[in-house]
Amino acid sequence: MSNTHRIQWFDQQIREARYPNSNHLAERFEISKRQAQRDIEYMGASLRAPLVYDAKRRGYSYDDSAYVLPHLYMTEDEKRVLKYLVHRYSQYNYDHADTAHRVARLLDRFTDESESELYDRLPMFNADPRMMQLVLLLTEAIKRSRLVQLVYEGEQLTIQPTRLLSRYNDDYVAAYCDNGQEQRHFRLSAIAHATIVEQTAAIASLTNVRASTGNESGAPARKPFTAKVRLVEPLECGETWNGFSSACSDVDPLLYEVDFYDTNAFVRHLMVAEWDELLAPKWLREKLRLHCSAVLTRLDKER
């Protein structure tokens, strides 16, 4: 049980005039007396609790009954944001890097409820939810030694991630590719979709993935499919369309030719991305129409 619950219990005992002490706290939560005393010291030093030790009753009370404990709980969303910030600060290698790394170590202490330092509620920070989710997914894959299937700049790959890193103020994942020999760095912002493969990551195990795709080399087809899509607004020069490589038409600044290898991944992308018109190919238009029709049919059944 986390220190949050112990401190709240201790606070309640004081308000009920039970005069708790370190022995009571240690016995109640089956912890050492030393740890219990650290909890009490933290209440006084960091939470500004007006603790007074009553020698006659051998326990603590408050000399200010108006005192209220600050918020101690951290939501799951807040912990996910902290994990993302820990990654960003730990990978910072520019001016004042030592300070950034110390901040990362400090924040990391708050991401696990089993840690004794999880006392205070930290503020919410702005972060890209998609990027944050991707960092968490890759971190989990590295920790569990799992393979990851992803769509990178329109190309479908199976990788074995080894570590996350930052270069030139951008985030990357270092990973072995399908061939099991070459290690590459993939820019996280160019990953359109990623899924953990529930299979232990070992270079030799990539053979099974290749066999299931019917491609002995494990690499995607050299020639991608191309879709003609009219977007809502033009892309920046050299920018991909959420990870899918694209080229603008010479006659229409909103008309793009978008390359993709994984049809299902591209259909999922079309379902969530902003675009105005899908002009080609015809078979992709029909596939998307059938997919939308199936979704509407399921929605009608729920009424």
CATH code of residue 149: 2.30.30
The whole-number pLDDT of residue 48 equals: 83
* Side-chain-side CA neighbours of residue 265 (13 Å): 22
Buried b (16+ CB within 10 A) or exposed e, 6-41: bbebbbebbeeeebbbbebbbeebebeeeebeebbe
Cβ–Cβ under 8 Å, residues 156 and 220: yes
* pLDDT band for position 20 (cuts 50, 70, 90): very high
Residue 220 lies inside a defined structural domain of this protein: no
How many domains would you assign to the chain?
Answer: 4
Residue 67: inside a domain: no
pLDDT value of residue 197: 83
Residue 129 pLDDT: 64
DSSP 8-state secondary structure symbol assigned to residue 71: P
Residues across the chain: 303
In a domain, 68, yes or no: no
Residues 162 and 229 in one domain: no
In the chain, pLDDT over 90 holds for what percent of residues? 23
Task: Enumerate long-range contacts of 234-238, CB under 8 Å, 24 or more apart.
Answer: none
Is 192 part of any domain?
yes
Whole-number Å distance between alpha carbons of 51 and 40 = 9
Q: Please give the single-letter amino acid code of residue 21.
A: N
- Measured CA to CA in angstroms, residue 111 lies from 134, 214, 233 at distances of 17, 42, 39
Which is more confidently placed, 115 or 30?
30
| pLDDT confidence band for 277 (50 / 70 / 90) | very high
- Claim to verify: residue 137 and residue 123 sit in the same structural domain: no
Is the residue at 291 inside a domain? yes
- Straight-line distance from the first to the last Cα atom of the chain, in angstroms, rounded to the nearest whole number: 43
Whether 24 is covered by a domain: the verdict is yes
Bridge partners of 59, per DSSP, are 54
Phi-psi region of 125 (alpha: psi -120 to 50; beta: other; left: phi over 0): beta
Q: Is the pLDDT of residue 221 over 80?
A: no
pLDDT in tens, 105-156: 766 655 554 433 333 333 444 456 677 778 878 888 888 888 999 988 778 8
Name the least confident of 54-68, 79-93, 260-274.
Answer: 79-93
Most confident of 22-31, 84-93, 161-170, 231-240: 22-31
Q: Are residue 209 and residue 137 in the same domain, yes or no? A: yes
pLDDT digits (tens, 9 = 90+) for 85-94: 777 777 666 5
Which pLDDT belongs to residue 207? Answer: 37
| Together in a domain, 141 and 119 | no
Range of the domain at 41: 3-62
Burial of residue 223 (number of CB atoms within 10 Å: 0-12, 13-18, 19+): exposed
Task: Give the C-alpha separation, 3 to 29, whole Å.
Answer: 10
